[in-house]
Structures are given as C-alpha cells and as structure tokens.
Copies of this chain bind each other. A is one copy, B any other.
Amino acid sequence: MDVDGGRRAVLRAAVAGGVGTGLAAAGLAPPAAAAPGGAASGGRGPRIAILLYDGLTALDAVGPYEVLCRVPDASVVTVAKRAGTVRTDTGVLGLVADRALHQVRHADVLLVPGGGDRGVIAAMEDAETVNWVRRLHQRTTWTTSVCTGALILGAAGLLHRVPATTYWASRSYLESTFGAIYTPGRFVESGKIITAAGVSAGIDMALQLAAKLTDDRVAQALQLAVEYDPDPPFDTGSPEKAGPQLQQLALELLEAAAR
C-alpha cells in the first residue's frame, strides 16, 4: 500500500474549498443524531420503513434505500415478519431486517419492494404482512412500491381503481387481480400512493420522493451522491424497446435464477 495522509477524506479530495455551508445554504438544519440500528423513531425527519421478506428482489429495496437514507434527518428501518435475515429471490444474498412487523406501528414513508413469484405470492397470502401494510398506510404520508411490490399493495386493497404501475410482466395481473388502472411510467403518483415500475425504477421514484420530502435541490444533490447519470450499454430496458423475444428470454433467465 502506498497511501498518504489524505486518505482520511477520500470522498472529498476532488472538491476545492471547505465543506460545511451546503446544508445551511439549502435552508436545512444540521442533521440530528439517528438512533443506533436505524430505528424509525427519534429523528426530526421522515420515518421511512422498508418492508423486507423472503424472496424479495434486493435492488427493489436497496435502490430507494440508497437515496432515501440520506434525506436530511430521515430515519430508515428495515422491517420483516420476523427480525433477522431474509434471503432474496435468487437465494444468493441475505439482507437483515432490524425490526419485526409488530415493532413498527407507524411510518411517514412505507416502501414495499417486489420479488419473484415465490416471495411475492407468499407475502400477498400472509395476513400479518398484508394487514401491516394496510394499517401503516392509514397514517403514512407516502405509501410506495417498487416492481411487484405493487401486488402486495393490491393484496392490501390499496389499488382498487387506482392508477399504478408494476413490473412490466405483471401489468395485466395488477389490473385483472386488484382492479388497478395500469398507467405507464417509471413511477405513477396517485394521491399518496406512488408505484414504481420494475426493479431499477425504484431509484427514479426515490429521487422524486426525496424532492417531495425536502426540495428539488436536495434531491438533485442526492442524485449526484449516488452518481446516477445512467448510461447503459444497451437500450432494452423496457418491454417495448426489447421486443417479444428478449421478453421471453428475460423471464426465462429470471426463472432459472429463482430459488
């Protein structure tokens, strides 16, 4: 290793001048100390609860998390049926839920990620999970979903005749099963419900949500904080752009990797 004393602030090395006035310039107070373990209480900012469950799609939760956890004074908590580890839809990755459902009775923002068939169906059929979503929704400022997380909102009865989106392959299911009004878009806002399209769309939604929770400047800074200047090497990210053959291949790849 050949590192100099500047390593103590590797993230600030490229920025000329000191820091310390940006938050004030944006009209924001210095952040309050958050509770250890990410408890969704105690802060002055929005309390954000992210539902985790076995079989979820990790990026559905982690994309929005990465933006929302840096909203000034926000407290973010991960919540699952039981506190502890959940495994993702591929079985490859474990994420930790710090709280059980019964420990979190209120959130300003509820985020429900999607998952593979197994995980989403189990969540939709689990009365405790669905009742928790419905109960939190009564007092949220924003109730949000990513991908097939919309189906869990649907199972909670929140999407009947509500404009919404979901994973591209689940659009008709969302309409036929829950009576939602499928509406194109990376995310769709309907009153206090915001549904995002599949997986990565949660990042786009979270930036919009950050703007609503604070203001455009903070959301713009958060976009830079996660260096979200997307430039994928292909342009096949929507079913319309990809066409039917890639749609079929995508679903087979999903199924082959599912656990």
Contact = CB atoms under 8 A, between A and B. Distances in A.
Contacts of A208: 233
A11 B63 contact: no
A259 to B, nearest CB: 8
Interface in A1-45: 1-4, 6-17, 19-23, 25-26, 30-31, 34, 36-38
Nearest to A60: B66
Contacts of A231: 186, 204
A93 B77 CA distance: 8
Contacts of A124: 1, 3, 7
Interface in A85-135: 85, 90-96, 98, 116-117, 120-121, 124-125, 130
Interface of A: 1-4, 6-17, 19-23, 25-26, 30-31, 34, 36-38, 57-59, 62-63, 65-66, 69-70, 72, 76-78, 85, 90-96, 98, 116-117, 120-121, 124-125, 130, 147-148, 151, 155, 157, 167-173, 176-178, 186, 197-201, 203-204, 207-208, 211, 216-234, 236-239, 241-242, 244-257
Contacts of A151: 10
A2 B130 CA distance: 12
A77 B176 CA distance: 38
Given A220-B234, A225-B251, 9 more contacts: A8-B117, A22-B253, A37-B91, A57-B66, A58-B66, A186-B231, A201-B229, A216-B234, A221-B242
A70 to B, nearest CB: 4
A25 B249 contact: yes
Nearest to A77: B92
B251 A12 contact: yes
A40 to B, nearest CB: 10
Contacts of A186: 229-231
Chain A interface mostly helix, strand, loop or mixed? helix
B58 A172 contact: no
A249 B22 contact: yes
A72 B249 CA distance: 11
A25 B65 CA distance: 37
B248 A72 contact: no
A117 B7 CA distance: 8
